[in-house]
Homo-oligomer: A and B are copies of this chain.
């Protein structure tokens, strides 16, 4: 159950209207990496993870709720950046009665020029925020990643926080308003804080790699295919050992030739790894059993009730 307090989590202020920055700031209201995306992603993930991870559920709901509160901060800032537009739109009676505009300009031409910045503000939302990105694309749940496994979902969240942080970093280039910058910096900082919370939560689940349950096929797990020609580039991603499984990278200089020679890789044998088909099967079985029983033992038999009162 949600509650709302009239006070914003952060004291958002605006020195002067700025429809141009309002447009760019939409990225964080209804954009791909914005606050609504974050809020809905964690909120949606939380349902499945509640059992058997009630502690992670609490974490996700804490952050989801904070993101809703950030969405509100962003919306309020956009509204303040558009101050005057809504009032101006009410004087619709006579074509010559254009009042002094947002920034002191008085000409109708100036007004229309501003409308071009984002017609939606002037012809649809009536001078308020819209659930779109900076190009006017309506927010879509296609942005949300929720896949029912904490070793995956928490990684999705770390990436999502990274993108949100970078977006705030980019946004800071486009405003000099000290109040607005203060707000953006607060919001940017919180993304980095959340990143570390998700990382800490991931570490409490062991094993957490590979993500999910199944182990990988040792025949193909440490092969690097050189699919893009030109000067050969070697680095820790295709020489030495892999970061998590510690297998030796096998560099395939000429993939097409190898594919033909191995009948579409079906004749390949594991190399540079200690894992075997049989060790993998065993691990799959053990982890699958563990994970499914964690969940099943946490769920009630018979009828289900969500909350305790």
Contact = CB atoms under 8 A, between A and B. Distances in A.
Number of this chain's copies in the assembly equals: 6
A274 to B, nearest CB: 16
Contact of A44 (B90, B130, B155): B130
**Leading 5 A-B pairs by shortest Cβ distance:** A126-B148, A11-B264, A135-B136, A6-B230, A93-B284
B243 A200 contact: yes
A139 B137 contact: no
A256 B304 contact: no
Interface string A86-103: 111111111101010000
Nearest to A289: B91
A126 B123 CA distance: 24
Interface in A139-191: 139-149, 151-152, 155-156, 158-160, 162-163, 165-167, 169-174, 176, 179, 181-182, 185-186, 188-190
A44 B131 contact: yes
Contacts of A230: 5-7, 58
Contacts of A23: 116, 119
A244 B256 CA distance: 37
Nearest to A168: B214
Contacts of A94: 281, 284-285, 288
Nearest to A39: B2
A204 B48 contact: no
A214 B169 contact: yes
Pick from A40, A115, A136, A292 the residue with the most CB of B within 10 Å. A292
Counting chain B CB atoms within 10 Å of each CB, the highest count among A93, A188, A288, A309 belongs to A93
Contact of A165 (B45, B95, B212): B212
A21 B302 CA distance: 17
